[in-house]
Chains A and B, each alone.
Chain A
Amino acid sequence: MKFFSTIAVQTTRNLQKTWPTQVMTLMTVSLSVLIFSFFFLIYTNMIKTGEKLGDDLRLTIYLEEEPVLEMQAQLVRKIINFSPVEEIRFTSRDDAFKRLATQLGDNIDVLDDLDASFLPPSIEIYPKKSLSTLAQIQRFSEYLSTLPGAIKVQYGQEWVERFNYFTKLLRIIVLLSGILLIMTTTFMVAYTIRLAVVARQAELEILRLLGATNNYIRTPFLIEGFLQGILGSSFGLLALFFLYRWIQLRFSGPGILQLVEFTFFTPSIIWIIIAASIILCMGGSFSSMRKFMRI
């Protein structure tokens, strides 16, 4: 108990003396957490959207001729041998024509002079969820185009590829902002503590001569690191939450946010970000103190 009260007094005294630098560091940590968590929030939401869109993924093979029953069975076997699928559906020329007519609705008259033969028969394939990456889909699509009688394979390539590249870009941004977060928090806190150590060199030397233990000298600095971590990340996440609420209110009408279900972090992710910030800040503080203790 005496240890804690003594350390509390020492920490309060330190904070009172160095508050301008502490505030600057706190702002840097908050900003770093805000930048990182902003991109991370977009990334997690894009991943979620990607998963949702993946559920609706369908590959269509357009065929030259309608396959007879034996041929259908052979095609199914070949497809399943390459990759397991949820469902395979054959669509004849007539079925395709009927579907188009239904889709045209009141404009059905455009089909008046046409018969079903202008539409190709097709096979619709609904792949399993395990087929999730663009490379896997591309490979599957290439294989399907080699099947006997196949003219063309479609799965909304352009859209899927763009979405995939956007997710990749986001992943890089999240990675970079993560590195930025690690560097700023660790180095800023480490340098703030180092500055404080240098500024208080004389005091620390006297404390050592008076018999202060390493814990007595180190603990207040570690507490400062802890406070920087917990307060910095909390302020950063709070700012992000207000930004998120503002975006929700501002763009609540029809648009991309209606298509994408935009959600905030789950409590567990919030705790992980706060814990990571605390560890980084305390790590920075510890490394500075270790250098001083070695002197």
Chain B
Amino acid sequence: MIAPGKTLRDRKELLLAQPFWRLVSHFGMRLFSGTGDSGEGGLGLSVSAILAMLAAPGAFIAILLFDKYSSLLRWLRGNQAFDPYAASLPDQYFFLTFSMVITGIVTVLKWDSIFPDRRDYMNLAPLPIATRRIFLANITAIVLIALAFAIDVNCVSSILFPLEVTMEQPRFFFYVQFAGAHFVGVMLASLFIFLALFALIGTLMVLLPDSAFRRISIYLRIFIVMLLLGLLTSTFAVPQLLRTLGSDPHSILRWLPPVWFLGLLRSLVGKADAALAQLGRLGWQAVIGVGVLAPAAYIASYYRYFIRIPETIDTTLRNRAPRTVLPIAWMDQLVLHSPFEQATYRFTIKTLLRSERHSLLFGAFAGLGLVLAFETLASAFSAASAPGDPPNVELLSAPFVLAYFVICGLRFVFDIPAELRANWVHQAILHHEQREPAALAGKVILTFILPWVVVCLPLYVRAWGWSIGAGHVAVLTAACSLLAKLLLHRFHKIPFTCTYPTWKQSATVMILLYVLGFWGFAFLLPGLERSLIMRTPLFLWILSALLLLAGVVLRRFLAVEVVDTSLIFEEKSPSPFEILNLSGR
């Protein structure tokens, strides 16, 4: 019993003095903290920072929508015939999808922390706590955090967006009704995706042997992230297509969960047509279905997995001969020139493929690239063209889109440390003035680009003939090489071995540069390509030669300004003061 007059802090301490709530708090903390032994698993963000980051996009978009719904602005634009309820449909679809995608991605990122692991077992099992209490505490923590995330992601938009839509309504009731429906809709959408992923993890853990589950887990997570990102990109197209929903009983839109919740939400405000209302009922059923399936799968997997942890520790010694698809001996002779490059190349590729954090992050980048590349291809094929026409810009830009995300994704994950405490081996063996890390990182990047570019070559040649197909591949390869060189400027570290860079200071500028770079690389360059093809395909070879030349010039030019080329293992933030030494002494 908590006495009146206690402060919130006292109440919290009293609650946490109880073993059950202490456990709940512990499981909650795990979700936000790194799981590595050195505590490097997390990005070092506080809970409040994570919550603020998740809440920001929804709030920002809700604010931007004032422009659309403001009666004053509409009056100034002369747009009088405006039905805010009808106009809110695409925005509702966006908020629902956004809510699902954020919840889904957070769940996928924290996939491993959802279930108690070996560390929990070794710490908790010897203590006098019943297994079912550990289970209940874990599920309580998960449910509370899932609710907190869902509320956090949707809270600002649930207040602002309904305010914008109902600002011209005569009664406050309309606001309450719309806001209530919006909140219920987005919360249920979040809950659905969370429970669905939870059920999926639990079911796979029950059905698959532990080693098989671990093997497929990473690929599955990347695939789910790709699906979610694909869902997010659908927000531009789906609302326009919803008009056809009633007339097409087999529409693919009926399979999209955000459409079910849009139906549910619109039904709650009484603005759904028959087709949407029917899908709204499906939304309710889906939530109930995963609501039943998720706890059942969780209980089964918990008892199958957690209880057996000590046995799996003793029996999971895997001793499999290594398999490699890379012709490594051939590469050692032709591409990797020094012992440093040979050793570090192997280390980088293996870390990238085996470290879950790195492969997941890279997979997310590549997945987003793949989704956008497919969308670009889809729009390319939907555009009318006659046989013999030169390829349109979209068709040319699809591989550039994918390559941009692959290269930027790799450059991003190179900065994420793997196991800093293991760096002593590099520091003990390597020479401080090692000058090859950027070249090595460039070769790793090209390993992930060249194979699929080469595979695409016969397709291009078949579709457009030798001169255009091979020219396009040459431009793509040269552009990728140039982009990699640009991104690896001042790269003086072995990938994954340096502390986190100080992103905070230049994050906004960097994001802007990356967006501009994307536009230039993925759209401007293919546009230029097309105009050159229209004149003569030979120009493609000149363009690729120019791009390669630019790379060489850039390397020479940038090498002049780089004074210190020592290998670094710790990123230091730039000093706020700098001595200019104008006297030259």
Instruction: Report if A and B associate in a common complex.
Output: no
